[in-house]
Amino acid sequence: MALGDGVTVRVDLNRIRSNLEAIRRRVKCKVLAVVKADAYGLGAKDVTDAIDDLVDGYCFFTLEEVHAAKIRPRSRKLVQLLGPPTSPNPNDYLALKTNPAVHTVDQAAALRRAGPALAIDTGMQRFACPPRWIDEALEAGECPAAMTHAVRPDQARKLLELTAGRPLFRHAAGSGMLDDPTAWLDAVRVGLAIYEGAMRVSTPLLETNSSVGPVGYGGFTTATGHHGAIGVGYSHGLRSGPCVINGRPSRILEVGMQTAYVQTSGSDRAGDPVTLLGDGLSERDVVAAWGGPPQQVLVQLARLARTTGRPIEYGRFDA
């Protein structure tokens, strides 16, 4: 068995569908699926194919991502960009029926024919139009939509205030604001909430050993008296934290460049899968060890498949 090549990333597209169905039942507005960064690593083409009937549109970060996902002509749904414009030519957006996001008067004027959404600053202070330029930018771009990157519901309400009285399609809320109806506006833009629980990542134990005295770089000791090694390390994006081996909660004890130590029991054997996400281990469990946002866990663990050269498998977890 070659190092690294045993990582299996499996994505359950039906789980993504049921996550979306639950969101649809809950919110009384349109639902835009955020599929930027290759659908958080889960694969934008397969994900968009699986959910097209359940969404009102998609959000990508750049035009290049829209192109790579081959969303046109597969889908006829709205495609909205979230990032700053990467082309000054409206025809580039029109060719992919994609609405850019703009945040300056000049960008709005240049991309007017592509139906730009004005990204308005409500506190993030990045790629966003300051309040004093809103009227001028909306007019220069004849913008059909206004959005803000919000992390709190009051920022969504501020978007509403700043654009009051105008006939605009407005959106602000991501997954973190699904429980606050005042933040929903005309649409929610959901990423994390549609992917949670939909990805399982595992890699086989390459060997198991009885621990004798201090082990590894830092001289750790095991609670079970046994440890094993897996063929992924920090060069693949792995970090210390929880894992599941043969149905039992365990730990990734120490991460090296291309391998890592895990705690095993006496009955675990080389070849047994070590689950890094899934099998009861959630994104939030991993975040408790890693810190940072749960989105990072998805993107980083999905990347394990790519750095180790195996394509993502799509299907049910029990299949």
CA-CA distances (angstroms) from residue 141 to 71, 134, 184?
25, 11, 24
To the nearest whole angstrom, how small is the minimum distance from the Cβ of residue 159 to ligand PLP? Answer: 12
**Of residues 101-140, which lie at the interface with ligand PLP (CB under 6 A)?**
none
Does 300 participate in binding ligand PLP (rule CB under 6 A)? no
The binder of ligand PLP chosen from 107, 122, 155, 175 (CB under 6 A): 175
Name the strand (E) or helix (H) holding 139.
helix 134-141
End-to-end Cα, the chain, rounded Å: 23
To the nearest whole angstrom, how small is the minimum distance from the Cβ of residue 238 to ligand PLP? Answer: 22
**Of residues 41-80, which lie at the interface with ligand PLP (CB under 6 A)?**
none
The binder of ligand PLP chosen from 295, 297, 301, 305 (CB under 6 A): 295
Select 129 or 243, whichever has its Cβ closest to ligand PLP.
Answer: 129
C-alpha count within 13 angstroms, C-beta hemisphere, residue 111: 31
Answer whether 278's CB lies under 8 Å from 200's CB: yes
Select 75 or 295, whichever has its Cβ closest to ligand PLP.
Answer: 295
Which residue sits closest to ligand PLP, CB atoms considered?
191
**3-class SS string, 109-132:** HHCHHHCCEEEECCCCCCCCECHH
Three-class DSSP category at 216: coil
Place of tokens 């909205």: 80
Select 43 or 228, whichever has its Cβ closest to ligand PLP.
Answer: 43
Three-class DSSP category at 163: coil
Structure tokens at 86: 């990467």
- Considering only the stretches 13-21, 169-177, 198-206, 257-265, report the one whose residues sit in contact with ligand PLP under the rule CB under 6 A: 169-177
- Structure letter (DSSP) for residue 315: S
The binder of ligand PLP chosen from 7, 20, 23, 34 (CB under 6 A): 34
- Considering only the stretches 16-24, 162-170, 191-199, 278-286, report the one whose residues sit in contact with ligand PLP under the rule CB under 6 A: 191-199
To the nearest whole angstrom, how small is the minimum distance from the Cβ of residue 209 to ligand PLP? Answer: 40
The binder of ligand PLP chosen from 10, 103, 149, 170 (CB under 6 A): 149
CA angle 128, 19, 127 (to 5 degrees): 5
E strands in the chain: 8-11, 30-34, 57-60, 78-81, 101-102, 117-119, 145-147, 169-173, 187-190, 199-210, 226-230, 241-245, 248-255, 260-263, 273-277, 313-314
CA distance 99 to 75: 14
- Considering only the stretches 138-146, 188-196, 247-255, 304-312, report the one whose residues sit in contact with ligand PLP under the rule CB under 6 A: 188-196
Closest by Cα among 285, 311, 300 to 255: 300
To the nearest whole angstrom, how small is the minimum distance from the Cβ of residue 148 to ligand PLP? Answer: 8
Does 189 participate in binding ligand PLP (rule CB under 6 A)? yes
To the nearest whole angstrom, how small is the minimum distance from the Cβ of residue 242 to ligand PLP? Answer: 22
The binder of ligand PLP chosen from 42, 71, 79, 82 (CB under 6 A): 82
To the nearest whole angstrom, how small is the minimum distance from the Cβ of residue 176 to ligand PLP? Answer: 5
CA angle 48, 35, 28 (to 5 degrees): 85
The binder of ligand PLP chosen from 176, 197, 216, 256 (CB under 6 A): 176
- Considering only the stretches 70-78, 103-111, 186-194, 275-283, report the one whose residues sit in contact with ligand PLP under the rule CB under 6 A: 186-194
Residues lying near ligand PLP in the complex (CB under 6 A): 34, 36, 82, 149, 174-176, 189-193, 295
